[in-house]
Structure 1
């Protein structure tokens, strides 16, 4: 994986011979949806993102969002986007605390709630990893069926349609919940151990403790090794790109400009309310002016909106 100057794969004449296509078992995926999902499930455990996957998805992103800049540093953008999303992952939301309260209320003697609840993040993590791998498979199937290539290179078409409810950001919320719940489980275990001892009734039976700890370690390893790298690249295959595509100083400039637009909008609204007429601003200015009440620019920005922003700026 490289920056803006990395060299793409050698030119090929048959798209079906490309490693991105062959590596995804195209024939199986087309003939059986079930086998396609099974392949995606097992693929997350080994070589979740290959070099051919990265190079093909990188080219698809550039041709869709940065066609005028073929040397766009996709790797640097991907890392910035992941760093922005990491702030969400390590944060704590109100709905997570509600889940904790429900867990504590259900922690009744004999129910072994602390054991069964450990399977929730485990199952969700496997589902997320499978879905992300399946998105890559869908892109491979589409480009092979359409034979879309430029000078021998495959060009995938990013789209929100490949994600749950057409929203790539749902994956981030699920990863947030998975890591929070897993961290809570491990912290809860050590807290009981320190406060009441390993043999306390709150700790529970050893046959329930050991599997829970194994699941917790497995979740952390799999998420770090496979799921997060998959998330970092696959979620860039949505219809819109993220604000990280702009440098930090550009983001600050856009937010500052949006705040000025909002002030003009409020002033214009005041003039209209007293019977005056105002011609300040435009439709784009009014839309971006609403950003003034937020801490930063929007998370996902469509190419059309970005172009308008650059033009006005």
Structure 2
């Protein structure tokens, strides 16, 4: 009888027996909220385009793509919820890897007891579960089994995925805003340097250890003390991560390597443009990040305190990244001090990819991307549990494990915003190549056009289509034009050589 009552309640709550005014009101509210969100994003995009913030506008488009992906994931979960309800599993399978320990432990249970245990874990009674799932729940009940996933759990999974993506975007934007505010504080250094730039005057010879940049990175550190050098780099990321001498020296090294003929090059503006372009990568949620979500949810087993331990992963990675970036600056100083005892004129460092992990500065960006996502995952999971099950839920874990997680999350956000991101912005410019953001937008578009033409000509030449005529056409171009084309091809791939 209980089953018949549940089936009748399910039929009565179906859409065909729901008053039309209720359907119309609910649909109207959903449409209004969706249109309001779409208009807000639209006007934000127009504002960014009006202020010529192309990189941030493209990051906004990336956010829209993520929202579309979320919508598609939600649609798939809705479409396949019937199949999930009809997929039945033995009751014993539900006794393993539970996020909350049941009172009966892992003792063998009857099918009906196992079904009631699953419903109770979701805060539902047996009658309510039948009322919501109707005949689909009875489909497994008749077999002595339980559904793979309840309808209530499926709805909560919808909410969690949405909260996770929104939290990641919010935390990424917050980090970018705070980090950019920190980087803008360096603008007065750039203005001072621009005023002090002089012509080819007399160049005095200075002992290398008289330069402030060298003194800062050799202070209290022996020349051959690798351990002290790394410890100095670790500590420095927490105070004065980038000093005026660091900025001045790295700026000059970049200019002398990549644009020697333009001593008044606005390095600060280029650095900010490059960071805004990288923000498009950070704000997105890549496929491998979704894999991490699945793995972490799998390991959320009662008694393992998984989310407490994994909260230290982004913290350790963040400290490692900050230490490495500081150590790159120290390596630049040591490299100059080892090669010269005295220098004529200004101190010039030599940018190189060899200072970075595996010779790829881009790896640092991927690590920052993972750190921000992992931190957002921790905070999003906490608030999802808090709003869905309450603070006293067993899945929330004990208070001694909750408080450190929140504290670590706050530390990661602050350190990443005010130390690591500004460090990344300037130190990754010390690689072998520069980024296409070194040019203004209209110049970039022109060079990309040159690159496309150059690739077509190269393809024709390799295929032997032009023959002798191709050789004649190639020799007719001025050497400067060929050099521009070569650089344009490299720029289209993301960077260009400095010679």
Whether TM-score is above 0.5 comes out as yes
The equivalent of 1:76 in structure 2 is 269
CA distance in 2, matches of 1:66, 1:249: 19
C-alpha RMSD over aligned residues: 2.9
The equivalent of 1:311 in structure 2 is none
The equivalent of 2:316 in structure 1 is 123
| Structure 2 gap segments, 5+ residues each | 1-188, 475-481
CA distance in 2, matches of 1:109, 1:205: 11
Query: What's the secondary structure of 1:13's corresponding residue?
Result: strand
The equivalent of 1:300 in structure 2 is 495
Query: What's the secondary structure of 1:303's corresponding residue?
Result: coil
Q: Does 2:374 correspond to 1:181? A: yes
262-271 or 237-246, larger mean C-alpha shift? 262-271
Query: What's the secondary structure of 2:206's corresponding residue?
Result: coil
The equivalent of 1:279 in structure 2 is 470
CA distance in 1, matches of 2:220, 2:486: 46
* Change in 2 beyond 3 A, CA 1:158/1:265: closer
Give CA-to-partner distance per residue, 1:45-95, whole Å, 9 cap, x none: 000000011001111111111111111111111111111111111111111
CA distance in 2, matches of 1:286, 1:249: 16
Residues 17-96 of structure 1 mapped to structure 2, 5 A cutoff: 17-25=210-218, 28-96=221-289
Check whether the contact 1:26–1:141 (CA below 8 A) recurs between aligned residues: no
Q: Which has the higher helix share?
A: 2
> Which residue among 185, 196, 205 is the counterpart of 1:7?
196
| Structure 1 gap segments, 5+ residues each | 305-313
* Change in 2 beyond 3 A, CA 1:185/1:62: same
The equivalent of 1:214 in structure 2 is 407
Across the two proteins, how many residue pairs are aligned to each other? 297
Query: What's the secondary structure of 1:122's corresponding residue?
Result: helix
After the TM superposition, which parts of structure 1 deviate over 4 Å for at least 4 consecutive aligned residues? 8-12, 148-151, 261-272, 280-291
Check whether the contact 2:450–2:485 (CA below 8 A) recurs between aligned residues: no
CA distance in 2, matches of 1:72, 1:155: 16
Query: What's the secondary structure of 2:240's corresponding residue?
Result: coil
The equivalent of 2:151 in structure 1 is none
Q: Please state how far the C-alpha of 1:299 moved relative to its aligned partner.
A: 2.3
TM-score normalised according to structure 1 size: 0.85
Q: Please state how far the C-alpha of 1:99 moved relative to its aligned partner.
A: 1.0
TM-score normalised according to structure 2 size: 0.55
Looking at CA atoms only, which structure, 1 or 2, has the larger radius of gyration?
2
Residues 74-223 of structure 1 mapped to structure 2, 5 A cutoff: 74-147=267-340, 151-223=344-416
